[in-house]
Amino acid sequence: MDFKKTNANQSIVTRDIRRFDAQTGNIYEAVSIMSKRANQISTELKEELTSKLQEFGSNNDNLEEIFENREQIEVSKFYEKLPKPSLIAVQEFLEEKIYYRNPVKNPE
């Protein structure tokens, strides 16, 4: 999924708690699903950022090169401006874009 095109809010928003347990019937299960998805998003974003920043890496780092690399700074700023993984996960959950299953409820 492309996290750069998400419509998640940049900051905390007051939410109606009944919207969370509507899908699962249990608020704790909904929070668990969203937290696991937030961890997945965080890992994916970190891997993507690390791979992009490795392109700028060099074998001999000197102080002037570190401060003069504007492209690297722009990439970092872009990722800092993205919504937090937890906010993206909440938005995905509310839009029913997360696939989840509970093996205890639905053994298959």
Q: pLDDT tens track of the chain, all 108 residues?
A: 566 677 787 777 888 888 988 888 899 999 999 999 999 999 999 999 888 888 776 655 565 555 557 788 888 888 888 899 999 999 999 999 999 887 787 776
Domain that holds residue 63: 23-94
Q: How many domains does the chain have?
A: 1
Does a structural domain hold residue 88? yes
DSSP state of 5: G
Helix (H, G, I), strand (E, B) or coil at 85: helix
Classify residue 84 by its DSSP letter.
P
Residue 5 lies in a domain: no
- CA atoms lying within 13 Å on the CB side of residue 67: 3
Q: Are 72 and 50 in contact (CB under 8 A)?
A: no
